[in-house]
Amino acid sequence: MDSVGAITVRFWGTRGSLPTPGPTTLRYGGNTCCVELRCGPHLVILDAGSGLRPFGLALQNARERVQADILLTHAHLDHICGLPFFGPIYSCHTALRIWSGHLTGARGIEATLRPSWNAPFMPDLGTAMRATLAFHDVETAAAWSLHPGLHVATTRLNHPGGATGYRVSWGGASVCYLTDTEHFPGGVDPALAEFAAHTDLLIYDTCYTDAEYETRVGWGHSTWRHGVALANAAHAGRLVLFHHDPGHDDDAMDAIAAEAEAARPGSIAAKDGMVLSLG
């Protein structure tokens, strides 16, 4: 659209459920969910899994004064465990707005997160966090602007305990972030396809292969094949496979990525460190 239209997407953590370091996951990476979106001068962070730690180190190395919006899908540990290890959260120069969409009517995101930063889970790190933190619980299907021209829409995902999907739009480009979610038995959820309609980038929970899914029905995750079906139904741009199962080593991921690419050319399996530019 214009010079500020591009969204730059950097994947800091692409694994689901549990960090998975080691020699068999070197190429795809082992950190859990964390994606950086650069929308002109604005920083949006999708989930705060263990990938948030190396991201924080990079921000500190760049001496960047951090003002960011963190959009949390839900509070399962693989999506929040990076927050106490995010270096900038200990700086008084940092300001974070933390958004959550599935805890309204319950205890709310602040009351959910804070205990996980203190004893007995942590050595009372919460009191050492000097950043300005603002917590926001939003209703399902809420839509709002983080900054002028930077829009967020949400949708409900099919996951135990609930989860929120996000669509972030800036300068004519958009990213849909739909993890953790399980497809419905009948196939593509029309509401989800409508939510993701014509998005440039569809980041989708492709945790399982078809064979694995057979024994994991109800666990709240999907497959690359349903990711392809959703991307097609939504007329989406590129499909990004995401939330890789801890049991998938690099060779298994290569095979999954090749199958998805053959079924829908341009599809790609996310890797820690991967960067994509939109718009």
Footprint of Zn ion on 169-208 (CB under 5 A): 180
Footprint of Zn ion on 10-29 (CB under 5 A): 16
**Both tokens of residue 3?**
């010079």
Q: Which residue number, 42 or 221, has a Cβ lying nearer to Zn ion?
A: 221
- Residues touching Zn ion, count (CB under 5 A): 4
Please, what is the minimum distance in Å from the beta carbon of residue 239 to Zn ion? 18
* Mask for 70-99, x = binds Zn ion (CB under 5 A): ------x-x---------------------
Are the beta carbons of 3 and 277 closer than 8 angstroms?
Answer: no
Q: Which residue number, 16 or 19, has a Cβ lying nearer to Zn ion?
A: 16
Distance CA(269)–CA(192), nearest Å, equals 21
What's the half-sphere exposure (Cβ side, CA atoms, 13 Å) at 72? 31
Q: Which residue number, 73 or 169, has a Cβ lying nearer to Zn ion?
A: 73
Please, what is the minimum distance in Å from the beta carbon of residue 74 to Zn ion? 6
Q: Which residue number, 78 or 182, has a Cβ lying nearer to Zn ion?
A: 78
| Residue of minimal Cβ distance to Zn ion | 76
What ranges make up the beta strands (E) of the chain? Answer: 7-13, 34-39, 42-46, 67-72, 95-100, 132-137, 143-147, 150-157, 163-170, 173-178, 201-205, 238-242, 268-269, 275-278
Please, what is the minimum distance in Å from the beta carbon of residue 250 to Zn ion? 20
What's the half-sphere exposure (Cβ side, CA atoms, 13 Å) at 218? 1
Sign of CA dihedral 77, 74, 195, 150: negative
Contact residues toward Zn ion (CB under 5 A) are 16, 76, 78, 180
